[in-house]
Amino acid sequence: MHEHPADRFPWVVVPGIWDSDPEHWQSRWQDDRGPEAVRIAPASWSAPDPDDWDRAISDAVAACARPPVLVAHSLGVLAAARWLTAHDDGRAAGAFLVAPPDPAAPAFPDAARGFGPPVGAVTTPTALVVSEDDPYCSAERASGFASVLGARVFRIGERQHVNVASGVGAWPEGRRLLDGFVRDAVGG
């Protein structure tokens, strides 16, 4: 079995609104990593409060033996970007952000209106994975979020919202992207 560079770090899994179900790639990756992957546990999964999610990310990061890589999806991308902007101090080794929603888009959930787009650059190595046909965010807008953060962009073609409904399954393509990003940008 070949080594996965991303396995050199613990992970903090940051799902989107309502959490990721067991069939979601995030849950499957977390299951594969066992105790080396910590999922955030906000009190406000269905009516997300940015401060609650910020605390949940801080708690999950603190539960790791060393700085983790944040593995975020959907609303979790906005939560992770917000957290990184406030805590860009080495607490996280890197951030792998997948399929951000656009808070200005009509499909953005009303319950999550407290979350906004990224507001500043971070020094933490960050990658933003962009689907060309994401119903929650245009590729151009997502690339703009990456520019604000100073993140590298991985455009992955038409994968909708990179979730269970889009048919990516365990998303081995994403696991390879994560490994390449960690190898090239995070180190270890």
145-183: pLDDT as tens digits: 999 999 999 999 999 999 999 999 999 999 999 999 999
Whether the CB-CB separation of 41 and 63 falls below 8 Å is answered with no
> At 3, is the pLDDT very low, low, confident or very high (cuts 50, 70, 90)?
confident
> Mean pLDDT across the chain, nearest whole number?
96
47 DSSP 8-state letter: S
pLDDT of residue 1: 45
User: In the β-sheet with 126-130, what is the strand arrangement from edge to edge?
Assistant: 37-39, 11-14, 69-73, 94-98, 126-130, 152-155
19-55: pLDDT as tens digits: 999 999 999 999 999 999 999 999 999 999 999 999 9
Query: Whole-prediction pTM value?
Result: 0.97
CA 71/CA 38 separation, integer angstroms: 10
